[in-house]
Amino acid sequence: MADTTTRSGIVVRAAVAADMSSVAIMLDAYMAELFGCPWQGSLDTLVRDGLGSEFQTVVAERTDDLVGFACWRRVYDLHHCAAGGEVMDMYIRRRSRGSGTALSLISFVAAQVQGAGGRFVKGRADATLEQVYARVAVVFSGAECYVGGRAFRILAQSAGSPPRMLVRGLPSSALNHEH
């Protein structure tokens, strides 16, 4: 999938090797914020594994500064015999939170998953945001979220839309059950 630029100036794109040092810095901030400890990985391993070998990394950029990332990998749902994607982790720098960056990243990931033949995307919701996620996703106990069916296709097709349009166009969670 090609890069997408929203009207808010956020560019969402697949990461390249040159981005990974900034992603590593954000991973350290993410780990400190969420777990109170430093990131235990290495830049070399992140570059080796995060550019398609083990998982995909997507970045959000504003004026030549990375403001967020999402990492995802292919998964398979045996219950529905369907390929999909799992967002392993996602982080938005504090100064860019509330700007639609997270939704822009997720819609871009959904488009990548769809382009690879996937039919759903799943991940874990921040417990404080479960009600927001429940607008579009099926949320299970433990805050595991799935977006599939027609809701997934709408989300994937909206990649690159301005954040306000993404929010206005969010599909109902009921559309997860429509093929």
Pair of tokens at residue 64: 């030549």
Pair of tokens at residue 141: 């106990």
Q: What are phi and psi of 57, to 5 degrees?
A: -115, 130
pLDDT at 7: 47
Expressed as residue numbers, the domain containing 131 is 4-177
Q: Is the pLDDT of residue 156 over 70?
A: yes
Mean pLDDT of 93-110: 92
Query: What average pLDDT is seen over the chain?
Result: 88
pLDDT at 50: 97
pTM summary value: 0.89
Pair of tokens at residue 84: 């999909």
d(CA 78, CA 98): 35
More confident residue, 117 or 168: 117
Supply the CATH number for residue 84's domain: 3.40.630.30
pLDDT at 116: 95
Q: Say how many domains are in the chain.
A: 1
Q: Residue 76's closest CA among 136, 125, 135, 116?
A: 116
Mean pLDDT of 82-109: 93
